[in-house]
Amino acid sequence: MRTLLLQISTYGRIFLLFSAALMFFPEPSLAEERELAEKKAELTALNEKIAVLQKAMRNRQSKLDKEDAALKDVDLRIDGINSNLRDLDRRKSEIHDELSDLQIKKRVTTASLEGEQVLLSQQLRSAYISGHEEYIKLIMNQQDPAAVSRMLVYYRYLTESRVRIINQINTHLEQLLDLKTAIQKRSAEMKVLIKNERARWQSLNAAYKEQEKAVLVIHNEQASDEQQIQRMLQDEQELLGLIEKLGELLDELLEEERVESSFRDYRGQLNLPVKNKIRVRYGTRRKIGNLRWKGIVISGELGVEINSIYTGRVVYADWMRGFGLLLIIDHGDSYLSLYGHNESLLVEEGDWVLTGQTIATMGKSGGSNKPGLYFEIRYKGRPQNPLHWARR
């Protein structure tokens, strides 16, 4: 499982950089040394808290029923396949650009070569027609020595020009050969990428079918309303437990990364993560029991881009029962945004994201029947109506 919070190694690197920076400053005073020791102790304590939280989450994840474990496995596999497809697509785009550049260079080189060949042909034709008679006459005739000298220089220039053109032609011929080889190599690589991409798409389609079967198995196992209610309550408690534990650490983690503006200042001015129809509204009753939705569900299609509503730090990026591939972003001042049922996660825990940045793609992980985004905003762990924060 991916790390739950900022990777501990990150803190190690920060501490090393901080220690290195101290080398460039004067010898610290006793007060500064004491403050440094306190910071190191706080860092150690924070690392211990994170390790405990990670261990607790791993233990809970390992206790999943085999049906949930199967769904988690296929959801994560779909995420991995999509990540691989994105890499292939990026490489295809790079090769396409390289091929375009190579073709342009080839056309330019070919045009230069053709021009040089025409010029050389004209010079050779003129030399053939005149032969060396004028040159011999110039040597044999008793003309003005200065005129003879000028004509000899002229003929030398003509000869040097021909040699230069011939050298340019040879250089361009070599360049064309190199360009042809490079084009063939890139074209062959493109064919391999296309072949791999087709194979990945086949794997993805097969994984989607496995996902549907896994969801069906879970629904059959949780056939009664009482069982479904119990499962929803457990999922909600799991999420609440995670948010509470995150809340205990976030102020310590991100205090130095706060932006000047505050999340609360943008109430009613934020864009939703995706501009699509809202399928489920905040506070509406669920189909069974007296449970109500703590967020909204936005409709869409598989692969639609999901964007961060505001600048913040990714504090959770992993699979959770009931929510599938889930992202949680801390925006400071105890505000969190949650994005569930994703098909793929494009950021990792510890990443700093900007407002409007693409962070995931829409999916139906975690047992959702159809593609959509489950979206929440929480303040001090309490759910808020996301629509009150969105532009009208």
Phi and psi of 109, rounded to 5°? -65, -40
- Are 299 and 183 in the same domain? no
- Are 375 and 339 in the same domain? yes
Going by DSSP bridges, is the β-strand pair 305-307/296-299 parallel, antiparallel, or unpaired?
A: unpaired
- Of the three residues 213, 241, 264, the one that is the final residue of a domain is 213
Contact 367, 287 (CB under 8 A): no
Q: Does 392 fall in a domain?
A: yes
- Of the three residues 181, 213, 245, the one that is the final residue of a domain is 213
- Are 169 and 42 in the same domain? no
Residue 292 DSSP one-character state: B
Query: The pTM is what?
Result: 0.65
- Are 390 and 242 in the same domain? yes
What tokens does 44 get? 């150690």
Distances (CA, A) of 219 to 213, 214, 216, 367: 10, 9, 5, 9
Q: Does 341 fall in a domain?
A: yes
Q: Does 39 fall in a domain?
A: yes
- Are 59 and 146 in the same domain? no
Range of the domain at 153: 87-213
> pLDDT (tens digit, 0 to 9) for every residue of the chain, 392 residues total?
444 444 434 444 444 444 444 444 455 567 766 766 766 676 566 556 655 665 665 565 555 577 788 888 899 999 999 988 888 888 888 888 888 888 888 888 888 878 877 777 776 676 666 555 555 555 555 555 655 555 555 556 666 666 777 778 788 788 888 888 888 888 888 888 888 888 888 888 888 888 888 888 777 765 565 666 667 777 777 777 777 777 666 655 555 455 557 899 999 999 999 999 999 999 998 877 678 899 999 999 999 999 999 998 888 888 988 899 999 998 988 899 999 999 999 998 878 899 999 999 999 999 888 999 999 999 988 999 999 999 86
- Are 378 and 231 in the same domain? yes
**Distance from CA of residue 266 to its chain's centroid?**
27
- Are 309 and 372 in the same domain? yes
Q: Does 72 fall in a domain?
A: no
- Are 205 and 145 in the same domain? yes
- Identify the H or E element spanning 324: strand 324-332
- Are 133 and 252 in the same domain? no
- Are 358 and 229 in the same domain? yes
- Are 390 and 244 in the same domain? yes
- Of the three residues 14, 31, 63, the one that is the final residue of a domain is 63
Residue 387 DSSP one-character state: G
Number of compact structural domains in the chain: 3
* Domain CATH for 364: 2.70.70.10
Q: Does 69 fall in a domain?
A: no
